[in-house]
């Protein structure tokens, strides 16, 4: 059976009290603010979305899940992007923070152009959606398959 680990509430932003910002769809979660801002050229504005990444570690037809205390359900590890992080980096960091397992994001698509010294190839998510339930504003979520960096006994 896949290892199941209770989530670390702090990895999801913690329970540091309600935010003072207006809520989206009337929901006001007790979590840290992870707003994304865009420089519009005429000023900095809120992008209107949260950005979240999720890590799916699948072995022997089982998926690693953690218990999400706020939603009270079992979900793959994941959470908000930190400044300077890509979606795949956030998925790997969150998986490690919530489970203790060091993982890498899997790239399941072929490389389509040669390496570029001015760019870093980024793994593609297997699914992307905009979640509108349970967050104070819509959340863009990218889902990645991940693999352990060391052998894992399940």
**Domain definitions of the chain by residue range:** 4-109+122-148
* Interval 46-93: pLDDT, tens: 888 999 999 999 998 999 999 998 889 999 999 999 988 999 999 999
What's the pLDDT at 119? Answer: 84
- Helix (H) / strand (E) element for 74: namely strand 73-75
What's the pLDDT at 81? Answer: 93
Domain covering 4-109+122-148 assigned CATH 3.90.79.10 in the classification: yes
Beta partners for residue 54, in sequence order = 78, 143
Residue 119 CB-density burial (10 A; 0-12 exposed, 13-18 middle, 19+ buried): exposed
Closest CA relative to residue 85, chosen from 115, 116, 52: 52
Two tokens, residue 97: 């923070």
Q: Is the pLDDT at 41 greater than 90, yes or no?
A: no
Report pTM.
0.71
Two tokens, residue 149: 């960096």
* Contact between 88 and 105 (Cβ < 8 Å): yes
Distance CA 49, CA 37 (A): 9
Closest CA relative to residue 92, chosen from 110, 70, 76: 76
Distance CA 143, CA 75 (A): 12
């Amino acid at each position: 059976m896949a290892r199941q680990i209770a989530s670390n509430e702090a990895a999801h932003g913690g329970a540091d009290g309600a935010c003072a910002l207006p809520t989206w769809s009337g929901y006001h979660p007790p979590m840290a603010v992870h707003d994304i801002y865009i420089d519009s050229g005429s000023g900095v504005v809120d992008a209107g979305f949260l950005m979240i990444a999720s890590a799916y570690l699948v072995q022997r037809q089982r998926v690693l899940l953690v218990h999400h205390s706020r939603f009270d359900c079992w979900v793959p590890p994941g959470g908000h992007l930190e400044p300077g992080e890509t979606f795949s980096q956030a998925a790997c960091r969150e998986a490690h923070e919530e489970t203790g397992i060091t993982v890498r994001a899997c790239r399941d698509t072929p490389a389509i152009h040669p390496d570029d010294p001015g760019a870093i190839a980024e793994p593609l998510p297997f699914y992307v959606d905009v979640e509108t339930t349970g967050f104070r504003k819509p959340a863009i979520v990218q889902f990645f398959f991940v693999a352990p960096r060391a052998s894992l006994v399940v």
